[in-house]
Amino acid sequence: MKIEFVSGPVLPNTSPIAYVVDQEALPAGVEAVVAEGAKVSRFAGKTGQLHEAFVNRDGVVVRMALVGAGEPGSKDRTAALERAGAAITAKYLASGETALTIDFSGTRLTGRDVAAVLLGARLRGWRHDIYRTKLPEEQKPSLATIKVAGAPEGSIAAWATEAALADGVELTRELVTEPANIIYPESFVERATARLESAGLKVRVLDEKDMAKLGMGALLGVAQGSVRPARLLVMEWNGGADADRPVAFVGKGVTFDTGGISLKPPGGMEDMKWDMGGAGAVTGAMLALAGRKAKANVVGVCGLVENMPDGNAQRPGDVVTTMSGQTVEVINTDAEGRLVLCDAITWTQKEFSPAAVIDLATLTGAIIVSLGHEHGGIFSNDDALAEKLLAAGSASGDKLWRMPIGPAYDKLIDSPIADMKNVGPREGGSITAAQFIQRYVDKGTPWAHLDIAGMVWASKPGATWDKGATGYGVRVIDRFVRDHLEG
């Protein structure tokens, strides 16, 4: 969706026109018929409320909307403004209108406030309809342009930053939404690389021969049942001081997960195209950071595999040797994400000596049992890092909830024949998965694991997304970098 800033007064022949309204504060000069209609329909400017009206201005019938942004001083003001923008798009996306104008004239909103409205509007407009050949005309998106009038000073610069973030979220949604016959390790790399390099990122790719030489027995063990070869995608952004060690974000990228020999039930297996949501989030976040020229040194690493039950597939009971030299008894081949992450994290630490490692993964169904679809889980060996990520999640809307780790949980993954097994008991499944990953984090390295299995895909529309891929993870990474790495 195109966002276009325009100057001069909004003419009557511009239609529709939307106004962002604070709670209990209709715009000055609004027509009496509109004010009365809003009152009768109980429109009060509450967050996300929308009232549509038609008025006659200089002999022209104008379609207009009042959209609520809630209370000006609320602690969730930015989120409320995003919801206001999203409500506008949701109303007009398939309305037949190709363009609309949001008029900010006379408001008390700042440039950042305007950018928040526009971010919500753009994110809510993302759809993936390329495979729908028989979509009824009235259901097809028509809205292509949002014009911005009367914007306060600083709006254009603020929007440039948020537009880069929107680019990243949209790339993540695209990667997560595409089916597994379209996005697999090689094609993930190809599609992402074109976007990333054009934004100024340094991109490297390790193939199976490279990873075999490095001893990545865990990651390659997951991939060995598929005809699709594994890849390690490496993205570097150096926008900070030369002496600053980078922060590393590592993403699980299982482009399709059958469970391997420990086969998943057929019902719902099609959803496992989004088991690369962690890698998708890291890739989208790297694009966003490069797009807004973030003043920080950041590296993104994605372990990309497909988990299939071929005759050459890894078996339950196999023992693999990881790049770190530690051995793993593979009890369940459907606990594959941690096997991908452990080698990716080991390589990242050896290659970059990062100041911190943060991994993102759709790792366990257990986290959904614990937190539903409201929060991602965060596990960390560093309280300060955990608090920063929790704050970034709250500020960005990609909410997180801290979960415990500790020695009592760690011993549950001890193996009688190897250094560890890849699953513990049924109880505390997301915790023992985190304990497994922690065994590969170098001593003294701050680390956080974000289990986002319940957040990357939505069965119904949300505030700023349609049902389907949410783009979760991009915004919490971006906010963390803004608040704690860029100073």
- Would you place residue 26 in the very low, low, confident or very high pLDDT band (cuts 50, 70, 90)? confident
Same-domain status, 404 and 478: yes
Reported as a single tens digit per residue, the pLDDT across 158-198 is 999 999 999 999 999 999 999 999 999 999 999 999 999 99
In a domain, 408, yes or no: yes
Q: What is the mean pLDDT of residues 350-355?
A: 98
Assess if residue 157 is contained within a domain. Answer: no
Instruction: Give buried/exposed letters for 226-255 (b at 16+ CB in 10 A, else e).
Output: bebbbbbbbbbbebbeeeeebbbbbbbbbb
Asked whether residue 181 is assigned to any structural domain, the reply reads: yes
Whether residue 305 is found in the same domain as residue 443: yes
Q: Kindly report the CATH number assigned to the domain that includes residue 391.
A: 3.40.630.10
CATH number for 66:
3.40.220.10
Q: Are residues 238 and 260 in the same domain?
A: yes
Residue 30 has pLDDT above 90, yes or no: no
Are residues 145 and 282 located together in one domain of the fold? no
Statement: residue 371 has pLDDT above 90: yes
- Identify whether 471 is part of a domain: yes
| Both tokens assigned to 353 | 């000596």
Is 338 assigned a catalytic role?
yes
Active site residue 426: no
pLDDT in tens, 433-455: 999 999 999 999 999 999 999 99
Which of 124, 338, 388, 475 is labelled catalytic? 338
Residue 27 pLDDT class (50, 70, 90 cuts): confident
- What's the pLDDT at 181? 98
In this structure, is residue 280 part of a structural domain?
Answer: yes
Q: Are residues 375 and 444 in the same domain?
A: yes
Please determine, for residue 487, whether its predicted confidence score (pLDDT) is greater than 80.
no
| Dihedral (CA of 161, 477, 454, 368) sign | negative
Quick check: is 381 in a domain? yes
Q: How far is CA 168 from the centre of its chain?
A: 8
pLDDT of residue 423 exceeding 90, the answer is yes
pLDDT, tens only, 325-349: 999 999 999 999 999 999 999 999 9
**Range of 42's domain?**
2-151
Where among 117, 151, 185 does a domain terminate?
A: 151
- Give the chain's length: 487
- Total domain count, the chain: 2
Distance of alpha carbon 171 from alpha carbon 273, whole angstroms: 15
* pLDDT given for residue 151 in this prediction: 96
Report the pLDDT averaged over residues 10-21. Answer: 88
Q: Across residues 206-227, what is the average pLDDT?
A: 98
User: Does 314 map to a domain?
Assistant: yes
Other C-beta atoms within 10 Å of 449: how many?
A: 30
Q: Helix/strand/coil (H, E, C) string of 67-124?
A: EECCCCCCCCHHHHHHHHHHHHHHHHCCCCCCEEEEECCCCCCCHHHHHHHHHHHHHH
- pLDDT at position 227: 98
Other C-beta atoms lying within 10 Å of the C-beta of residue 141: 18
197 and 128: one domain?
Answer: no
pLDDT recorded at residue 73: 86
Mark which of 129, 151, 173 sits at the end of a domain.
151
411 has a pLDDT exceeding 90: yes
389 CB-contact burial (10 Å; exposed 0-12 / middle 13-18 / buried 19+): buried
- In this predicted structure, what is the pLDDT of residue 9? 83
> Using an 8 Å Cβ cutoff, are 292 and 160 in contact?
yes
Among the candidates 94, 126, 151, a domain finishes at 151
- 286 and 251 Cβ atoms separated by less than 8 Å: no
**For the chain, what is the mean pLDDT?**
97
Contacts of 397 (CB under 8 A, 6+ apart): 79, 82, 463, 464, 475
Mean pLDDT of 219-247: 98
Same domain for 390 and 278: yes
99 and 40 assigned to the same domain:
yes
State whether 135 and 180 are in the same domain.
no
Residue 24: pLDDT band by 50, 70, 90 thresholds? confident
Would you state the pLDDT for residue 103?
95
| Judgement on whether residues 307 and 267 belong to the same structural domain of the protein | yes
pLDDT number for residue 29: 79
> Is residue 463 located within the same domain as residue 397?
yes
**Mean pLDDT to the nearest integer, 59-84:** 95
* Residue of 77, 127, 264, 295 marked active site: 264
Q: Is residue 156 part of a domain?
A: no
Assess whether 372 and 430 both reside in one domain: yes
